[in-house]
Amino acid sequence: MTALASTRSRSNSITAELTISPDSTQPQLPLLAASSYLNSAPLIWSFLHGSRKGTVNLTDPVPARCAELLEEGAVETALIPVIEYQRIPDVSLVPDVCVGSKGNVRSVVLVTRARDLREVRSVALDESSRTSAALMKIIFLEFLGMEPKWATSAPNVDLMLKDNDAALVIGDPAMTFARNGFRILDMASLWREYTGLGFVFAVWAIRNKDLSRVAAIDFAAARDEGLEQIEEILSHYEREIPLPRSELKEYLTDDITFHIDQPMQQGMKLYFDLAYKHGLIEEVRPLRFTDSTDYGMDREDRG
């Protein structure tokens, strides 16, 4: 058995380097999937370059594909769009580790020329997005009281806006397109404006049948090690993302949060409740973490 290959085409050195930990081809090692976007780099750096190098097999498809690999059983653990926790059966979450934001996230944006969102009649959704696509629908359905037409597209703003009034773009592409002439709305900021809560975009999820296989992996410690190596991470990514190093550092240290505190958990619960209310998920399952805690949501909480 060989290490998992990436499911994405490779066009530059940094993604090629992040495809897989080079010393981890042993078949007995746990199989992990996580996108190599800049915002997830602190969560996976330890497995690729730090003290946990060689302890896992790691592949890096886009977030939506990470969820598919977990559901298919091709990997045992994946950093998945948080909405997929409600869609993939028999999984648990790693506690207190996420990719989220308490304010301006910068890498999940709605792009439009409309002065008012109520003028938007059609939205192109980044094909690699699931959590953000559901968040976009919730913003319109719950807070604006309307529903535009939805389309799915590759993350090319010009092409997305050719036939649509707005475009949802996520990840590194959302940080680098030309802004001229566009109105840019940060999705985490919109969520906070309407709810007063932080937003969780991605979480580590583990198949329940494989909990014992990955029990020795300390994802929180891996995160902490990655955060200690921010400068090294920036040295790699600044070659690939055409933004000043200072902006990339601000993004990782101020815009993104990698912890799930109480307001973040409340935001996650509300997001699930509203997704259920508007038919984006079939049920609201309790938040079950790998430390055996179970945070239930009763019907009264669902409103």
Mean pLDDT calculated for residue range 260-288: 96
Quick check: is 7 in a domain?
no
pLDDT digits (tens, 9 = 90+) for 88-114: 999 999 999 999 999 899 999 999 999
SS3 label, residue 23: coil
pLDDT, tens digit (0-9, with 9 covering 90-100), for 207-245? 999 999 999 999 999 999 999 999 999 999 998 899 999
Q: Quick one: pLDDT band at residue 173, thresholds 50, 70, 90?
A: confident
Q: Compute the distance between CA of residue 201 and CA of residue 96 in angstroms, rounded to an integer.
A: 13
Note the pLDDT of residue 177: 85
Angle between helices 131-138 and 187-195 (to 10 degrees): 50
Q: Using the 3D structure, point to which of 152, 172, 195 is the last residue of a domain.
A: 195
Say how far residue 202 (Cα) sits from the centre of its chain.
4
Q: How far is CA 231 from CA 234, 239, 241, 248, in A?
A: 5, 13, 15, 10
CB count within 10 Å of CB 150 equals: 15
For residue 187, is pLDDT > 50? yes
Confidence check: pLDDT of 265 > 50: yes
| pLDDT (average), residues 182-187 | 94
Burial tier of 279 (Cβ tally within 10 Å: 0-12, 13-18, 19+): exposed
Label residue 179 by pLDDT band (50, 70, 90).
Answer: confident
Does residue 217 lie in a domain region? Answer: yes
Let me know whether 147 and 229 are in one domain.
no
Domain boundary among the residues 143, 174, 195 is at 195
The enclosing domain of 123 has a CATH number of 3.40.190.10
Q: Which domain holds residue 168?
A: 108-195
Residues 6+ apart with CB under 8 A from 259: 96, 97, 98
- Same domain for 205 and 69, yes or no, is yes
- The residue from 150, 177, 195 where one domain ends is 195
Whether residues 189 and 237 fall in one domain:
no
Express as a percent the part of the chain with pLDDT over 90: 77
| In-domain check, residue 290 | yes
294 and 145, same structural domain? Answer: no
The predicted-structure confidence for 20-79, as pLDDT tens digits, reads as follows 444 444 558 999 999 989 999 999 999 999 999 999 999 999 888 999 999 999 999 999
Residues 76 and 214 in one domain: yes
